[in-house]
Amino acid sequence: MYNKKAYAASRRKGFRSGLEEKVQNKLKENGVHATYESLKIEWEDLAYRKYTPDFLLPNGIIIETKGLFTPTDRRKHLLIKKQHPELDIRFVFENSRKKLNKRSTTTYAEWCGKYEFVYATKEIPNDWINEVAKSITHSSFIKFTGEKKYV
């Protein structure tokens, strides 16, 4: 459930949510030096946009924490996955069993399964942290490499 005081405390510490702060604390406890919002990924959606993921692990895994997974977020991540298939973007949900909306029978977890996104609930699993790097991006900006359409 939403806690206004906890949210405000996390915002004062520079986080956008309490979940981001919890994940950062867990990473520190495990001695993992992940960077917070240090990467920008350009993607195309009628305009050229920049996405700033929440965490970049030392092994190159990109972590996005989500309490609420909106239709806009889902659409954005499908486009980013299509435009940057080399990136390993994973989700940490506050509750992966939450339904996409009031009328939906699909959960966040089922959506991830359908679109082949890896996810976890509440915290980053240790096996993600210990996973061997596939390809690490050393840049703080990943440019859109498709053909840009100028209107």
98, 53 in Cβ contact below 8 A? no
pLDDT at 49: 86
pLDDT at 136: 63
Q: Per residue in 23-75, pLDDT tens?
A: 999 999 999 989 898 899 888 877 788 999 999 999 999 999 999 999 999 99
Residue with tokens 């089922």: 110
Q: Per residue in 64-81, pLDDT tens?
A: 999 999 999 999 999 999
**Residues pairing with 91 in the sheet:** 64, 119
**Residues pairing with 44 in the sheet:** 48
Q: What is the DSSP string of 71-138?
A: HHHHHHHHHHHHH-TT--EEEEES-TTSBSSTT---BHHHHHHHTT-EEEESS--HHHHHSPPS----
Domains along the chain with CATH numbers? 18-142 (3.40.91.30)
